[in-house]
Every structure is written in C-alpha cells, then in structure tokens.
Amino acid sequence: MTTFATGPVRVSVPATSANLGPGFDTLGLALDLRDRLEAEVTESGLVVEVDGVGSDEVPLDEGNLVVRAMRAAFDELGVQPPGIRLSCVNVIPHARGLGSSSAAIVAGVWLARELVAGGRLLLGDEGLLDLAARIEGHPDNVAPALLGGFVIAGQDADGSFYAVPSEVDPRIGAVVYIPPEPVSTETARGLLPTEVSHADAAANAGRAALLVAALGGRPEELWRATADRLHQDYRRPAMPASLALLDALRADGVPAIVSGAGPTVLAFTDTTDGLTARCPEGWTALRLGIDSRGAVAW
C-alpha cells in the first residue's frame, strides 16, 4: 500500500530564459526569480489557492497546470492521492518568455514525487526531467528550472531527453525588460519559417558554441555570441517594441536577446552599469542573478 507524506511539502522554482539568442530550443538559463508552492495530501477533493501573478486568471481546478503536472507524476508513480491541497505564490510573469509554464510543470512533478513515500527511488531526477519535458514538449526551460544554472538540453532520436549543465562565470548577471503586454508562445512560434538557409543555420551553430565559452568564462565575447539568425527577427511583427529595444541595445554593444519566445528582452551584464535606465516607459526592469540551485525545498 502506497503511503503519502503526512504533512505539506514545499518547493521553490526559478524563472528561466531559453534560446539565449542562437541556442534555439536547446540553451536555457535559470534566473533568481522564484515561484513558491506548497502541497499536501488530503482526505478528498482538490483545493487550489494562488496568490501573486495570475491569481485572477489561472484555473483553480484540474485544469491548473501545476495540478496537471502533479497528476502526470502520480500516474508515473502508479498512485493518485485521495485529495490535494495546493498553494502557489507566483512572481514569475506569465506569457513573457520567462518560463512560467515550465516553473509550474517542474513544481508539479517535484511536489508529487515528494508527496509519495519513496518517490525519489521510484522516479529519479532523470525520470523527473523526462516527464517535465514531455509535458512541456521541449526541455530548454524545464531543464534549468529543475537543475539550475546554464543547461544545454535536447532530445535524442529515441525520444528521450537529455540535459547537460555547463559553467557560468560568477561575474555574469542579467537585466530583464518586461513589457506590460504578453505574447503567447503559440503566436511567436507561428511566425517562424518551416525552413532556413544553410548559412543562417551554420552561423547560429557557431554562435551557440561560442556562447557556451562566453558564459563559462569569456564574458567579453557575449555580444558576438548572442547574435541570432533563426528566430528573433521573424517574431518582430508580434513584438515590435521588444525588437526595437533589442536593436538599440545591441547597437550600443550590449549583449541582448529575446528571452524565450518573448516579449521580454534580456541583457547580459558583468558590471554594475546603468542598464536598468534603458527600460522603456511602462515596462519593468529587473536585475537578476543567475540561479544555480534549480528546484529546491524551502
């Protein structure tokens, strides 16, 4: 007979930025901006409480993404609890390219595993990553959300997912510029062409390789390493203000990228410069460190 944790379990999950310019669908970075969640098994029913970002928008029933991820993990573990109470305190902006959905998915699978006695033996970290990536559809955000830091992730020919952490120079931080209006990932992906030129693919491959070195200890190469020819400019019609800010920053030598599918713009920095002053009116600028922990209990 499966037993459950007798009290609540808690997890904190970071925001993430994927693509990072040239690393389309493969590179991801965890940022020090965290949602905090708590869950416990109850005798019956489902109670979902949400404070902070999305409190007036996200479903409070089985349609909640955290709950859906929990259910998937419970299925993987071969058990469903009689009832669940879930409490979420959200700070990661939704539909802004900062990995809010991946944070929800990682939180859900992590909480479910911790609520089952012996859950870590039944579903190891590799299995947890694979499940989270299957729910999300790709691993570039869920991998750093789970593992922290800078992660190179992808999918093998057999359908399994992999994630390889890589070093980040401790001098490197980020400033994110968050616009007031969201852009859905589906809209942003819908603007991408089905084919690209060999020259553009080769250019991005070289820049992605350079980016690994730049983040690992050559921050002076970040501007060159963050150039992209596969996805950012194609998305300009959906987020013209974001691309205008990106163009202005890069024209001044700032290594800026569209975060994930946008519309947030991220600028790498290794100094205490005045980048936050470049924030457009009505937007929010946050200076964030690189998160090295990933999903952790709190």
Q: Is 82 among the annotated ligand-binding positions?
A: no
Q: Is 165 among the annotated ligand-binding positions?
A: no
Q: Is 98 among the annotated ligand-binding positions?
A: yes
Q: Is 87 among the annotated ligand-binding positions?
A: no
E strand or H helix at 9: strand 9-18
Residue ranges in the chain assigned as alpha helix (H): 65-77, 100-115, 119-122, 125-136, 142-147, 185-190, 198-217, 222-225, 240-251
Q: Is 99 among the annotated ligand-binding positions?
A: yes
C-alpha to C-alpha distances, 153 to 28, 161, 190, 260, 277, nearest whole angstrom: 8, 7, 22, 14, 33
Q: Is 93 among the annotated ligand-binding positions?
A: yes
Q: Is 198 among the annotated ligand-binding positions?
A: no
Q: Is 214 among the annotated ligand-binding positions?
A: no
Q: Is 203 among the annotated ligand-binding positions?
A: no
- The count of other CB atoms within 10 Å of the CB of residue 166 is 15
Known binding-site residues equal 93-103
Known binding-site residues for ATP equal 93-103
